[in-house]
Structure 1
Amino acid sequence: MTQDLYPVDDILADVEALMHDSIRGSESLLSAATEACLYHLKTGGKRNRARLAIHCGQALNLTKSSQVAAAAVAELLHNASLIHDDLQDHDDTRRGNETVWKKYGADVALCAGDIMISASYAALLHADCRGLLPQCVTLIHRSVCKSIQGQCHDLSYTRYESYTLLDYEKMAEGKSGPLLSLPVELVYQMSGHQSQIEQVREAVYKFAVAYQITDDINDVDQDLRRGETGAAAPNAVIVLRDNGHGEKSDSVASLRVFTLLDEVKRDISTLPGQLSEIFNTYILGLRASLSEDKA
């Protein structure tokens, strides 16, 4: 039976409410860590993971409650990773505001990220698929573990060690792919398309790498300055320069983005849930951010 379609903005409002309720739990008074979580959510964000869950969920006739639950799970885990990432990278600002660790201290930031991870499991309970909760929990745990593995790879990076573009892509895939793929994986699990989750995962991981390389092209000067202070982080353009591509590194990186995006379009073209149409908006956005004449 086809579910009623609700405006995306209305569902996003429900997602925000569920995230807040899951973070608060049964507390009548906010702890410093809970307050820090709510502060972080108020700083904004595009909620792209929530939008993926909603658009895909509507295309696959998922109930509104399940759409909201999948979206909230993905956003809570993503924002937990941002809080911890800012702490580990010692970044002072995010979205034009003080980062959680800068405003509340490192110890509170660590606890705030942990609360968000725990809250994601509480949010999952609002899905209308109780019989599939074990499988959904398995997907969540896998995504968290893979993203932590990618983060550890990122933190262990030293520019002056041998580091190839392949090494970089494995790191970017592990760090960004799992939590970007999770909302779609959860929707596919909840809607009875479990057999195609692996195909979804492979395609979205490629998109995540393309997205990260695009960010690196735009941030190369900033990352070079950070490297001078000892706070080096993997950047695709810098990795290519270190591997002998010199002034052509930007062009090589751009070409790699276009190749990955073409592969994503091919890989998702046969998947249900209008995934090709949904991702085409994001693909066009990345292409637009890179001038074709760089290639």
Structure 2
Amino acid sequence: MATAQDKKILQELQAAVRTSLKARGFAERQPQGLFAPIEYTLQLGGKRIRPMLCLAAAYAFAPERWHEALPAAAALEIFHNFTLLHDDLMDRSPLRRGQETVYRKWDDNTAILSGDAMCIEAYAALGELEAKALQPELFGLFSRMALEVCVGQQLDMDFEHRSDVTVAEYLEMIRLKTSVLLGASLQIGALLGGASTEAAERLYRIGVELGLAFQIQDDLLDVYGDEATFGKPIGGDIVNAKKTLLLLYTQEQLQGAQREELQRLLDLSPEERKGRIAEVRALYDAVGVRAYAEGEVARLSQSAYSELEALSTSVPTLEAEHFGPLRLLFDSLSGRTH
């Protein structure tokens, strides 16, 4: 059960992230053609989930020293936003968090170069950690994660040109593109808090499971969610024929005339599919994809929660209540409320 103290600690961590990012001085650095887009991106807001996971993991193992993980938290947030600059450009997305994307506000070259600078700045932030003895290990973990995110993005782009993508391939793609960054955030924070290698690796696996659940939940909301709370029109993935878990599972389950009907709808233009969302959803319903996806979200989320509870009570020197802020963050990712 979340306590007022847990919420207060999370607010303190979030304020520290904001201050840490602001202190990097992108708003004043020259040339502004390079740094203004970085400041713009970092000030668009968001939940700061990745740096918060890092700090909350550090707090769980060392509640008096969590602030020592701030450079790593900044590195994770800057890296995450770097990927968004390039993803938006590759996807030609006009908006990010309700505001113009960098390539639209400036131009393509700015999105590329400012993104490159953010990736470099992420490594620079990581190098500012006081725990110098841990730096070789942390740089290794960070670099592995960074490359895996790039692999995941490439797979996502490759899938756009394939008609034979499987559910298993999709899950591996989102593990790389989304989940490993959440896992690494927890692992790095735990190590900086003094956790053992084994405990930190367990948190990494927990983060990966939670990341998978988060992405599947996002796929579900796009088809079955409420537009007012989802924040964008329902059915966008269907309109764009995006290869989500729901579409791929449905393709694997359908046979005969229904499978041909789905393919016919996918062969339409996006503009034509705008008026056929209900027909695609009906085919989804025919194979029970909503129940399947909701079951996967519940399974992955429950596994992550159970692992966290086991971890919080497995180390004699830990206080289980110090995991309270981490549980609250898990709730925000899984959609649970207290």
TM-score range for the pair, normalised by the shorter chain length: 0.7 to 0.9
Q: What residue in structure 2 maps to residue 261 of structure 1?
A: 301
CA contact (8 A) 1:66 1:126 kept: no
State how 1:19-168 maps to structure 2 within 5 Å.
19-22=21-24, 24=26, 28-61=29-62, 63-158=65-160, 161-168=163-170
Flag the 1:222–1:96 CA change in 2: closer, same or farther, 3 A: same
Residue 266 of structure 1 and its aligned partner are, at CA, apart by 2.6
Q: What residue in structure 2 maps to residue 293 of structure 1?
A: none
Task: Determine which structure has greater relative contact order: mean sequence separation of CA pairs < 8 Å that are 6+ residues apart, divided by chain length.
Answer: 2
Q: What residue in structure 2 maps to residue 201 of structure 1?
A: 204
Residue 82 of structure 1 and its aligned partner are, at CA, apart by 1.2
Residue 21 of structure 1 and its aligned partner are, at CA, apart by 4.3
C-alpha distance in 2 between matches for 1:169 and 1:178:
12
Deviations 1:136-165 (A, max 9, x none): 111110110111111111111137522222
Moved more, 9-18 or 148-157: 9-18
Deviations 1:267-286 (A, max 9, x none): 33322475864454355446
CA contact (8 A) 2:9 2:325 kept: no
State how 1:270-289 maps to structure 2 within 5 Å.
270-272=310-312, 277-285=324-332, 288=335
Residue 260 of structure 1 and its aligned partner are, at CA, apart by 1.1
Q: What residue in structure 1 maps to residue 277 of structure 2?
A: none
> Unaligned regions of 5+ residues in structure 1, if any?
228-232, 291-295
CA contact (8 A) 1:8 1:54 kept: no
User: Which has the higher Rg, Structure 1 or Structure 2?
Assistant: 2
Residue 16 of structure 1 and its aligned partner are, at CA, apart by 2.8
Alignment of 1:252 onto 2:299: no
C-alpha distance in 2 between matches for 1:114 and 1:77:
10
Flag the 1:93–1:122 CA change in 2: closer, same or farther, 3 A: same
Alignment of 1:214 onto 2:217: yes
SS at match of 2:311: coil
Moved more, 166-175 or 14-23: 14-23
CA contact (8 A) 1:40 1:100 kept: yes
Flag the 1:244–1:15 CA change in 2: closer, same or farther, 3 A: same
Q: Which amino acid aligns with 1:199?
A: R
> What TM-score does the superposition give when structure 2 sets the normalisation length?
0.75
Residue 46 of structure 1 and its aligned partner are, at CA, apart by 0.7
Match 2:239 to one of 225, 237, 251: 225
Residue 197 of structure 1 and its aligned partner are, at CA, apart by 2.8
Q: Which amino acid aligns with 2:249?
A: L
Q: Which amino acid aligns with 1:200?
A: L
SS at match of 1:243: helix
Alignment of 1:237 onto 2:246: yes
C-alpha distance in 2 between matches for 1:145 and 1:85:
15
Flag the 1:269–1:159 CA change in 2: closer, same or farther, 3 A: farther
Moved more, 148-157 or 67-76: 67-76
Q: What residue in structure 1 maps to residue 274 of structure 2?
A: none
C-alpha distance in 1 between matches for 2:236 and 2:58:
38
C-alpha distance in 2 between matches for 1:179 and 1:76:
12
Moved more, 185-194 or 252-261: 185-194
The runs of 4+ residues in structure 1 deviating greater than 3 Å are: 5-14, 20-25, 272-290
C-alpha distance in 2 between matches for 1:136 and 1:285:
26
Flag the 1:23–1:239 CA change in 2: closer, same or farther, 3 A: farther
Flag the 1:180–1:287 CA change in 2: closer, same or farther, 3 A: closer
Residue 13 of structure 1 and its aligned partner are, at CA, apart by 3.5
Residue 47 of structure 1 and its aligned partner are, at CA, apart by 0.7
Quick one: percent identity of the two aligned structures?
24
CA contact (8 A) 1:143 1:179 kept: yes
Q: CA RMSD in A?
A: 2.7
C-alpha distance in 1 between matches for 2:219 and 2:187:
27
Residue 53 of structure 1 and its aligned partner are, at CA, apart by 1.9
Flag the 1:243–1:159 CA change in 2: closer, same or farther, 3 A: farther
C-alpha distance in 2 between matches for 1:287 and 1:46:
14
CA contact (8 A) 1:65 1:128 kept: no
Q: What residue in structure 2 maps to residue 230 of structure 1?
A: none
> What TM-score does the superposition give when structure 1 sets the normalisation length?
0.85
CA contact (8 A) 1:19 1:123 kept: no
C-alpha distance in 1 between matches for 2:25 and 2:112:
14
